[in-house]
Amino acid sequence: MKVHIKHWHAIAQWRWDIGKNDEDDDGEGDVCGICRVPFEGCCPSCKMPGDDCPLIWGECTHVFHMHCLLQWIGTAASKQQCPMDRRPWVTAERKVDAGNPR
Amino acid sequence: MIKIWSMKKNEDQAAKKKPKTSAAQIRVQKDLTELDLPPTMKTHFPDPADLLNFTLTITPDEGMYKGGSFVFQFNINSNYPHEPPKVKCTQVIYHPNVDLEGNVCLNILREDWKPVLNLNSVMVGLQYLFLEPNADDPLNKEAAEELKRNREQFIYNVKTSMRGGTIKGVQYNKVTP
């Protein structure tokens, strides 16, 4: 039997690698805690997700849309603290390894 | 690849034409759909198209404020969630953490606000004030003093105030049916 392929559609999907092994481990998916939009979406001031609206990692392991986090850190009320745990915000060099305990 | 870039341009243009929904509105919309309020709390939207200004009625079913019906005005500005919602009590009530103008002393409405909190956390916090009035951080100093000095008298004053009575020259609003 000979098969002739007439058409094909390539489909690709992408996700930010946020260092979590299992998806949706908290049942609500991975959303930015500030704007509540999925990480793969974009922050409210952006129009296109992806490299234009990247994520930012803190040394406390918390992840946000970079624009959301920077806006918060820019307010006096933030006292430069992580919005999750109130530890001083220190941007991590790169994402925390998936194998590390969180 | 080229096609994707041109699609992106088109989307940029399309997005510019759309009437802009503010970031605060988008976030409030999400907060409201996630509201999980006990039967003791009800929201009311005078203008259903305006999600940023509404009232919350708290009717505690236990504690010393049981039987009262307390109405709070919520005003959310465009910096939400980077700024907390503005919340005021619309009645004159006798409560250590609410002053006679209706300003509320609740940590998460002020210094402890953070943008990962939501409207649900604020509402639950408000209800908690009626279950556990806090004399250590008072806005109504008279009420706080009384709560510390003589709890029985304080509870009596609460009942009086909720019926619309007068305590130390201040007349309070009737909040009971």
The pLDDT-based confidence of B41 (bands split at 50, 70, 90) is very high
Instruction: For the domain covering A27-92, report its CATH number.
Output: 3.30.40.10
Q: Give the closest of A33, A47, A72 to B15, CB-based.
A: A47
Nearest CA to CA, how far is A36 from chain B (Å)? 7
Residue B174 pLDDT:
96
- What is the chain A residue with the closest CA to B8? A48
The answer to whether B83 and B113 are in contact (CB under 8 A) is: yes
The pLDDT-based confidence of B22 (bands split at 50, 70, 90) is confident
Q: List the end-to-end C-alpha distance of chain B, in Å, as a whole number.
A: 67
Tell me, which fold does domain B19-171 have in CATH? Answer: Ubiquitin Conjugating Enzyme (3.10.110)
Residue A102 pLDDT:
40
Burial tier of B175 (Cβ tally within 10 Å: 0-12, 13-18, 19+): buried
The answer to whether B123 and B42 are in contact (CB under 8 A) is: no
Q: Is the pLDDT of residue A87 over 50?
A: yes
CB pair distance less than 8 Å for B116 and A35: no
> Would the ipTM clear 0.85, i.e. be above it?
no
Q: Comparing C-alpha atoms, which of B64, B60, B69 is closest to residue B164?
A: B69
Q: Comparing C-alpha atoms, which of A14, A58, A11 is closest to residue A39?
A: A14
Taking the C-alpha atoms of residue B171 and residue B77, their distance in angstroms, rounded to an integer, is 32
The answer to whether A34 and B116 are in contact (CB under 8 A) is: yes
Q: Which residues of B touch A43 (CB under 8 A)?
A: 23
Q: Is B105 a catalytic residue?
A: yes
Three-state DSSP class for residue B15: helix
Q: How many CB pairs under 8 A join A and B?
A: 46
Q: To the nearest whole percent, how much of chain A has pLDDT over 70?
A: 80
Taking the C-alpha atoms of residue A91 and residue A15, their distance in angstroms, rounded to an integer, is 21
Side chain identity at residue B162, one-letter code: M
β-bridge partners, A56: A64
Mutate to test the interface with A, among B26, B28, B82 (most CBs of A within 10 A): B82
Residue B4 pLDDT:
61
Side chain identity at residue B57, one-letter code: T
Residue B164 pLDDT:
95
Residue A98 pLDDT:
45
Q: Quick count: other Cβ atoms within 10 Å of Cβ B35?
A: 12
pTM (two decimals): 0.81
Give the largest CA-CA distance in chain A.
71
Q: Which residues of B touch A86 (CB under 8 A)?
A: 114
In chain B, which ranges are continuous DSSP H helix? 2-17, 23-33, 119-131, 141-149, 151-162
Q: Comparing C-alpha atoms, which of A95, A25, A35, A28 is closest to residue A71?
A: A35
Residue B9 pLDDT:
63
Side chain identity at residue B166, one-letter code: T
Tokens at B22, concatenated: 């503010």
Q: Comparing C-alpha atoms, which of A94, A50, A73, A90 is closest to residue B11?
A: A50
Q: Give the closest of B8, B30, B83 to A36, CB-based.
A: B30
A83 inside 8 A of chain B by CB = yes
Residue A101 pLDDT:
45
Q: Quick count: other Cβ atoms within 10 Å of Cβ B160?
A: 14
